[in-house]
Amino acid sequence: MPILELTRRGFAALALTAAMGTAASAADYTIRYASPYPPNHIFSQADQEYFKKVEEESGGRVAFQPYWAGTLISDREGMDQLASGVADMAFIAPIYSRTGKDITKSMSGWLDPRLNPVQKVELFWRIWDKYEALRDEYDSIHLIAAHAGDNMHIQTADRAVRSVADLDGLRLKATGESVTVLNELGAAAVAMPMGEVYVALQKGILDGTVAPYETLIGFKFAEVINYYTTIPMPRSAYGSRAMNIDSWNALPEDIQAILTENRIYWAEQVDKFAAAQDEEGKAYGMEQGVEFIEPDQETLDAVLAAQNKVWSARAEELDAKGLPGTEIMNDMAKWSKEILAADGEG
């Protein structure tokens, strides 16, 4: 049974609780939304903008009842929890799944790093529409929206990275295949929880980290690093908002259409709030005296070559599993160029 509140006017007392409030009681459908993030997080701020738009476009027939800060759902297990029915809709993070989701986790390495976050989302939906193998990774839930982050970069404490040679032996915190890419370039990269990085930098256990601008203020990295080099470490889009299948099926087609047609709007809101936070991070970094370094083209080409080598090997690994790794990689490269050209950036 879905837990979606089908609160038809006149029968609201059968489904609503007092905690849902006046706005929810006026709606035909109250969607219980679960997120692992607090309400002031950029993802949650974007969620609330989406809620407002859907509520307005539905003429008040839809309301959202959010449960923030992991009240109902966790970051790593969100997909399974949503599928089991703890909520109607939720933030999900398949990139953190312990097993599976091979295509979702590999897409960062197959896109053009010049794509902005909303362009990455457009690319994601192209791959989604063509490849059943990607859709299969989300078959336990109904995917509503995707979002993407901007590229991450290299932050270092005492050694500036101005060329590939400067990466030699650097102990860097990274994630996923970025570890492999950086080690291919001579670094000594390791995976580490973000919450441990500040102290590791402070104590000299790490020489640096791979992270976005916002961490300069969000994690106070500007207090323990001196250099920020904009060598791009791409982040792709992934499916991040979804519904329980029974809850989705309980909605009429016109409401389903409103939820789906606003999927790019949702991604745009994430990008808007994230970009503002990145600007705050840059400003704080400048206040703290961080030097921002733009690498030359030779350095960028060397990094891209290493990324292509590592991610081409990853595609071949997926091919060996019977997944269309190389085919998706080639389509992402082709469609990245098309999207950039269409926006006058190719």
Q: CATH code at 254?
A: 3.40.190.170
Output the DSSP codes for 39-54.
TTSHHHHHHHHHHHHH
- Kindly report the number of other CB atoms within 10 A of residue 247's CB atom: 24
Nearest CA-CA partner of 87 in 38, 41, 36 = 36
pTM recorded for the entire structure:
0.90
| Gap between the Cα atoms of 45 and 53, Å rounded | 13
Q: Which domain holds residue 139?
A: 5-97+116-148+237-276
Task: Indicate whether 67 belongs to any domain.
Answer: yes
Task: Indicate whether 264 belongs to any domain.
Answer: yes
| Gap between the Cα atoms of 309 and 42, Å rounded | 34
The DSSP bridge partners found for residue 29 are 6, 62
Instruction: Using the structure block, give the residue that is written with the tokens 């590229």.
Output: 151
If residue 341 lies in a helix (H) or strand (E), which one and from where to where? Answer: helix 325-342
Dihedral sign of CA atoms 243, 272, 332, 92 in order = negative
Residues 6+ apart with CB under 8 A from 255: 29, 58, 61, 62
Contact (Cβ atoms closer than 8 angstroms) between residue 228 and residue 284: no
Contact (Cβ atoms closer than 8 angstroms) between residue 91 and residue 238: no
Token pair of 295 as six digits: 């690498």
- Kindly report the number of other CB atoms within 10 A of residue 288's CB atom: 16
Q: Which pLDDT tens digits describe the chain residue by residue (346 residues)?
A: 456 765 543 333 223 333 334 445 589 999 999 999 999 999 999 999 999 999 999 999 999 999 999 999 988 899 999 999 999 999 999 988 878 899 999 998 899 999 999 999 999 999 999 999 999 999 999 999 999 999 999 999 999 999 999 999 999 999 877 899 999 999 999 988 888 999 999 999 999 999 999 999 999 999 999 999 999 999 999 999 999 999 999 999 999 999 999 999 999 999 999 999 999 999 999 999 999 999 999 999 999 999 999 999 999 999 999 999 999 999 999 999 999 999 887 6
Task: Indicate whether 250 belongs to any domain.
Answer: yes
Nearest CA-CA partner of 278 in 216, 187, 209, 194 = 216
* Structure confidence at residue 253 (pLDDT): 98
Residue type, 134: L
Task: Indicate whether 171 belongs to any domain.
Answer: no
Task: Indicate whether 190 belongs to any domain.
Answer: no
Nearest CA-CA partner of 130 in 333, 339, 327, 338 = 327
Task: Indicate whether 12 belongs to any domain.
Answer: yes
Task: Indicate whether 135 belongs to any domain.
Answer: yes
Helix 253-261 to helix 42-57 angle (10° resolution) is 140
* Structure confidence at residue 19 (pLDDT): 35
Buried residues in 51-80 as b, exposed as e (16+ CB within 10 A): beebbebbeebbbbbbebbeebbeeebbbe
Q: What is the domain count for the chain?
A: 1
Task: Indicate whether 109 belongs to any domain.
Answer: no
| Gap between the Cα atoms of 293 and 8, Å rounded | 58
Strands 89-91 and 237-243: antiparallel
* Structure confidence at residue 5 (pLDDT): 61
